């Protein structure tokens, strides 16, 4: 997987500094430990923050650490539409973080797609279909946890996800700078509860769209170019057994940032028939690029997704409760496409465990010796929504270190433990005709 070193941006880090977290409680407790020992910065990007006791414990730990370290830099980046959605008690991510607005910076990304008539007509939570801040990056000092998990109780207790913590100054700083850059072009939560444009842009993203897009493109381009320039000065030892190469691949389609698309196309070119692919996603709706990569691959492919019972949308009120059936229908379409191209070495599996939901996403690529030679982790679900509408961050990792390869191997095995094969069109009778129509006509919004 030497092509990783040729990505627009890549870092080489000691393999011993990469830790694969294995459970929701390990994720939560590691977050708490990192926060409680923070010396310089706490900078988080997430879709939203929950309002329960576990989330409050995390917020309290951040508050206490900020009081003990007055120079500590605090920054939070959430999505505006999801972050301001209120529950029955009138609580939201914004209200949960309100008292931190004075001590730090709480930015709420507002997609420029939600403007004009759409902004007036689409109410919460329907307005979330237009685009979200979907990155999950949790930076504390030189450590960064990259995940698909949000900061909400279910992700800390009974929702399966993936999490990798890396300790590296340059990578952590890059992730923090991504958070800062997007934040500058977002709205800000003020101490009085108001939400206003940032002092950097002085404009609402949905009201001065061209200026917003140009500014975001300019600043993201400069950021990546600066880090790439520094990275190119360092020679990678790709054969080293004590190192790992990590490459951040951003996908922010509305701003023309498409590193994940480029990566997936390059990966499909270097894969060989001896490579086995395992792709996991909580919400199955593959983009044409990823579907083509899987179906064209000569080697074995395993696709793992949530069953109806393990989909977080099951049981939701109104149309949202039918979303799991839309994903099931899209999965059946993928199986039909595989049959049409005679892809026989494909294993499609659904995950289910009573009382739990499935939210894991990412790739594991195995070599002929069953070693994980490449893994991705991040926020992308590999669909058209991730490709075109949301802000996504994935980290691609490759290593020759046997211990790290085994850690990823065990992670991949653990994901499969509660899964079963999906016969072609199993459950098709549960999908209503209008759900099938919606999934085809508006699939990019799922």
Give the active site residue among 136, 275, 359, 364.
Answer: 136
Give the active site residue among 33, 79, 87, 134.
Answer: 134
Give the active site residue among 79, 141, 161, 390.
Answer: 141
DSSP state of 138: E
The upper half-sphere exposure of residue 420, i.e. CA atoms within 13 Å in the direction of its Cβ, equals 10
Q: Name residue, tokens 């949790």.
A: 138
* 425 included as an active-site residue: no
**Crossing angle of the two packed helices 24-36 and 53-68, in degrees rounded to 10:** 20
Residues 6+ apart with CB under 8 A from 253: 387, 388, 389
Residues 6+ apart with CB under 8 A from 426: none
DSSP state of 5: G
CB 276 within 8 A of CB 396: no
CA angle 139, 213, 111 (to 5 degrees): 65
First to last CA, the chain: 31
* 71 included as an active-site residue: no
Could you give the CA distance from residue 206 to residue 84 in angstroms, rounded to a whole number? 16
* 141 included as an active-site residue: yes
CB 319 within 8 A of CB 361: no
Active site residues: 134, 136, 141
């Amino acid at each position: 997987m030497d092509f990783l070193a040729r990505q627009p941006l890549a870092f080489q880090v000691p393999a011993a500094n990469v830790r694969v977290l294995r459970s929701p409680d390990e994720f939560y407790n590691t977050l708490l430990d990192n926060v409680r020992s923070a010396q310089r910065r706490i900078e988080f990007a997430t879709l939203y923050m929950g309002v329960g006791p576990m989330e409050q414990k995390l917020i309290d730990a951040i508050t206490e650490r900020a009081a003990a370290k007055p120079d500590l830099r605090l920054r939070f980046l959430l999505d505006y539409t999801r972050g301001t959605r209120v529950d029955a008690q009138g609580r939201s991510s914004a209200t949960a973080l309100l008292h931190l607005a004075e001590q730090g910076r709480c930015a709420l990304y507002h997609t420029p797609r939600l403007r004009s008539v759409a902004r007036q007509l689409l109410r919460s939570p329907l307005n979330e279909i237009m685009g979200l801040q979907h990155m999950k990056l949790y930076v504390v000092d030189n450590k960064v946890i990259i995940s698909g998990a949000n900061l909400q109780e279910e992700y800390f207790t009974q929702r399966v996800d993936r999490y990798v913590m890396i300790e590296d100054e340059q990578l952590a700083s890059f992730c923090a700078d991504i958070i800062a850059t997007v934040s500058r072009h977002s709205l800000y939560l003020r101490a009085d509860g108001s939400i206003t444009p940032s002092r950097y842009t002085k404009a609402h993203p949905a009201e001065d769209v061209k200026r917003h897009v140009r500014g975001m493109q300019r600043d993201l381009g400069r950021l990546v170019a600066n880090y790439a320039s520094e990275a190119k000065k360092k020679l990678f030892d790709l054969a080293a057994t004590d190192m790992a190469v990590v490459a951040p691949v951003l996908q922010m389609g509305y701003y023309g940032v498409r590193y994940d698309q480029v990566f997936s196309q390059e990966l499909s070119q270097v894969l060989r028939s001896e490579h086995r692919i395992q792709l996991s996603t909580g919400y199955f709706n593959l983009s044409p690029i990823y579907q083509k990569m899987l179906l064209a691959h000569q080697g074995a492919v395993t696709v793992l997704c949530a069953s109806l019972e393990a989909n977080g949308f099951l049981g939701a009120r109104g149309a949202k409760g039918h979303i799991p059936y839309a994903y099931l229908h899209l999965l059946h379409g993928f199986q039909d496409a595989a049959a049409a191209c005679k892809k026989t070495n494909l294993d499609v599996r659904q995950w289910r465990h009573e009382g739990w939901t499935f939210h894991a996403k990412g790739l594991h690529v195995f070599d002929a010796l069953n070693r994980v030679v490449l893994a991705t982790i991040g926020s992308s679900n590999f669909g058209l929504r991730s490709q075109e509408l949301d802000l996504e961050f994935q980290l691609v990792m490759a290593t020759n270190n046997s211990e790290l390869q085994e850690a990823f191997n065990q992670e991949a095995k653990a994901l499969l433990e509660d899964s079963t094969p999906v016969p072609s069109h199993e459950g098709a009778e549960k999908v209503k005709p209008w759900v099938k129509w919606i999934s085809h006509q508006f699939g990019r919004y799922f």
